[in-house]
Amino acid sequence: ASVGRASGSLQHFSSLSTSTEDLVRVGHDYASQLLYAWGDPVSDGPRARADAGDDAASQRQQAGMHHDGMHFFPFMEYGKPSSTHGLLCINHEYTDDGLLHAGGMHDWSADKVAKSQAAHGVSVIEVRREAGGWQVVRPSSWARRVTADTPCRIAGPALGHPAMRTHMDNRGNLVLGTLNNCAMGVTPWGTYLTCEENFNGYFKAPAQASAEHKRYGINAKTSGYRWHEFDERFDLEKHPNEANRFGWVVEIDPWNPGQAPVKRTALGRFKHEGATCTLARDGRVVVYMGDDERFEYVYKFVSRDRFRPGQTDNGSLLDEGTLYVARFDDDGKGRWLPLRHGKKYAGGALTAESGFADQGDVVIRCRQAADIAGATKMDRPEWIAVHPANGDVYVTLTNNTQRGTAGKSGTDAANPRPENSFGHIVRWQEDGRDAAAEAFTWDIFALAGDPASANPQQRGSVRGDSYGSPDGLWFDSNGHLWIQTDVSASTLNKGEYAAMGNNQMLVADPSSGETRRFLTGPVNCEVTGITSTPDGRTLFVNIQHPGESPSERADPGKPTAYSAWPANQFSEAVGGRPRSATVVITRRDGRPVTG
Ligand code: FEO
Ligand code: CA
Ligand code: CA
Ligand code: CA
């Protein structure tokens, strides 16, 4: 099949060396600019204080912490999408409360909990390219913060379900907030999907957590955010159903700042990484999703109805359809297994006798349903990207050091490395090149590693520059595959990772597999979140958790000393402590960054 201009050729890209510098580095043909760091005002609110002394009310008007997935939504200018003016939706995945507050977690209080909740969620900011570069437009009537307290509607099969009802919401249709917003998606009708990942960590479970809670990693130990001490909503002893109201894909219409976000429950409840949308041949909407935990699954949703450009209320397309989970067979073929109420599998049935009274039960206990279906346990599915011309689908499997260890699943063809510390990227092609197909063929695009390593286990199958723990994944419109890495701070630049440098972003040619290092990040950051203007001349990239502590903080009251970024690189940054931020990358000659 012709791939047109989406050739993915790397002829415009050169390779950067690895780096341990506390800087964002790009090649000399490119320029980087700081756009929006934690604490920067969303609109006309207060600027952050260097000592983090801002209160919850200020934080509610400022960039949250830990930027992750994002997307640029262009304004229309003279009937065409603008490449100089748009809305940027940015996830704020989680907080490091040792950094977030003056005095860190000492003197833990209701005010600190409120600020922590306000630093979660999503930013919608208005951005414009001016003579001096990109600027956040302030004030802006479009600008908005969605936080862990913003009322969100519930839609789909779990709407009104008994397991979704709480003391505060006895009809099960409204929940306060979205949290742990990791990766994202963009619908064909131009809304933003923000995905709730590690929601389990916010809840205090009873000493005897239920099997349902345990399947999602909720146990008495996981309450490190300490919200439950001052907000009883997060105490499952008092409000056992509250945790069922998180772990969803949430739709935000950036063009309707007054509209409540909507939790689209037909897409299943799990530790959602992203929600990558495409269209089936007949116009039905298809959403690809990973559940990021060791030995969890890859899912897709296919809408019942077709997308019709111009129709209103497209969001309801995400409420009716079929949720599937993937089985990757060892012969290179695969099946999409429907998680439909009433369906019977060799491993059990999704019926009332097995505890699934209706489709609401299936989506709320999606992981248990997928277990019954016999899906393939993967090495931590992260982002998913669809090739813009041929529809091939790529998923990052970031790592899984427990693969093949005592008591855990062994290797299989799709997860072939024992104690997989570098991760890999799997690719599949849907039968008939139709995203709605129930079968596919797959292969391994790359086993991450260092091609120069003397140890064959560490070499992987990368052609070009080394990397490990791939996480963010995105196609530009020219068919380049961009790979962002998330090596944890405890592993970075040590042991097997000694030669790989700080976390980074690479660009790959999907046909040749060749990979070149494009950007390196500051000390102990993760590089995650990427989007571009329609003309490809501006890339927006997020730098998350610079200076992350490699282990539990010795003193949670003191800011980390591992990184001084971005104030050490950009004079306009508020200093005092390291800050996650959105960075703008352009080419110095003004040509598209995307080649
Ligand atoms: Fe939030 Fe799976 O990364
Ligand atoms: Ca991620
Ligand atoms: Ca990380
Ligand atoms: Ca990750």
Query: Quick check: 500 and 467 in contact, CB under 8 A?
Result: yes
Cβ–ligand 1 contact at 273 (below 6 Å): yes
Whether ligand 1 lies within 6 angstroms of the CB of 197 is answered as: yes
- pLDDT at position 561 is 80
Cα of 551 from ligand 3 centre, angstroms? 12
Å from CA of 472 to ligand 2 middle = 6
Report yes or no: 122 and 178 within 8 Å, Cβ to Cβ.
Answer: yes
Spell out which residues have Cβ within 5 A of ligand 3, the ion.
486, 526
Q: Report which of 476, 474, 458, 456 is spatially closest to residue 466, judged by C-alpha positions.
A: 458
Dihedral sign from CA coordinates of 456, 461, 467, 468: negative
Q: How far apart are CA 20 and CA 12, in angstroms?
A: 25
Which ligand 1 atom sits closest to the C-alpha of 93? Answer: 1
Radius of gyration of the chain (CA): 22
CA of 496 to the centre of ligand 1 (A): 22
Give the residue from 94, 120, 225 showing the smallest Cα distance to 526: 94
Task: Please work out whether the CB of residue 296 comes within 6 Å of at least one atom of ligand 1.
Answer: no
Residue 553: per-residue pLDDT: 59
Please name the amino acid found at residue 236.
L
Among the bound ligands, the one closest to the CA of 96: 3
Q: Is 239 exposed, middle or buried (0-12, 13-18, 19+ CB in 10 A)?
A: middle
> Of the ligands numbered here, which is closest to the C-alpha atom of 488?
3
Residue spans of alpha helices (H) in 313-385: 359-364, 366-373
pTM for the predicted model, two decimal places = 0.97
Ligand 3 geometric centre to CA of 548 (Å): 8
pLDDT for res 222: 63
pLDDT of residue 455: 87
The predicted-structure confidence for 488-516, as pLDDT tens digits, reads as follows 999 999 999 999 999 999 999 999 999 99
CB 364 within 8 A of CB 161: yes
ipTM here: 0.97
User: Edge-to-edge strands of the sheet including 249-252?
Assistant: 174-176, 151-155, 262-264, 249-252, 192-196, 181-186
HSE (side-chain half, CA atoms, 13 Å) at 121: 28
Ligand 1 and 379: CB distance under 6 A = no
Q: What three-state secondary structure class fits 211?
A: helix
Query: How far, in Å, from the CA of 273 to the mean position of ligand 2?
Result: 6
Cα distance between residue 556 and residue 94, in whole Å = 16
**Segments of the chain with pLDDT less than 70:** 1-5, 222-223, 552-557, 559
Residue 508 CA, distance from chain mean position: 20
pLDDT score for 234? 96
Atom 1, ligand 1: which residue's CA is nearest? Answer: 182
Residue with tokens 């012709």: 2
What digits encode the pLDDT tens for the residues 477-489? 999 999 999 999 9
Q: Contact, 3 vs 433, CB < 8 A?
A: no
Confidence (pLDDT) at 207: 85
Distance CA 414, CA 426 (A): 7
Q: Which residues contact 31 (CB under 8 A, 6 or more apart)?
A: 585, 586, 587, 588
Residue type, 226: R
Residue 504, SS3 per DSSP? strand
Give the sign of the dihedral formed by CA 97, CA 123, CA 136, CA 471: positive
Locate 519 and state its tokens: 């950007």
State the closest ligand 1 atom to the C-alpha of 382, by its place in the atom list counted from 1: 2
Query: Which two structure tokens, joined as six digits, stand for 414?
Result: 């799709």
**DSSP 3-state assignment of 353?**
helix
The tokens of 88 are what?
A: 């940027």
